[in-house]
Structure 1
Amino acid sequence: MTISFTKALLLLTSAVALTTANPIPDEAHNTTSADMGILAKPDFFCNDNELSKKCRGPPYNFRCTNDNHINYDEPYYQCRDKTRCSCHYPCNNIKIC
């Protein structure tokens, strides 16, 4: 009886030690990909909504790479103007967006 009681006590203390060693914070259950360090792909935006639609659509198809560079199928001078259009990461944090 003493041996089984000792084993049970050892098992119980091991289980308690494992569960308290790495507690999971409450935020871990409600995280977004941005919170976990996984960044979304940047989107192509222009300061004019109509220009954004024109640049992103055919035949130009302006888009952003993961490195924040602009790619396109057909060049268009207004879409290539960096003062008007650029790549931005979308905001995934509802607390600040």
Structure 2
Amino acid sequence: MSRGWRAEAKRYGAPAAFLLAVTIGVLVVRSGLETRSTPTTTVPTTVSTQTGPVPKRQRRFYHLRAGETLSDVALRFNTTVDALLVLNPHVDPNALEVGQRIRVR
């Protein structure tokens, strides 16, 4: 080992071999992080198999309660806020009212 390692060992109060092992470990972990590709998500190419409007018997509506947000409704019906907004283009998410009827399916 070089003199630099000995000086560092004295400075940190650790054996030089320990400092060398830690440095190598950090370099190995860092190189693994840098070469790892970022995770990607796949988006389905088809959104729905149905074409045309949803039959009336399959449509479902919900009446808002005090304090509820579109996020709350989306969680309740296992959907997203964006999907609710597509089904309800007339709804302003910042001006919801108690008893307001929104389509959830």
Pairwise TM-score range, normalised by the shorter structure: 0.3 to 0.5
Task: Pick the structure with more helix per residue.
Answer: 2
TM-score, normalised to structure 2's length? 0.31
Write 1 or 2 for the structure with the bigger share of strand: 1
Scaled by the length of structure 1, the TM-score of the pair is 0.32
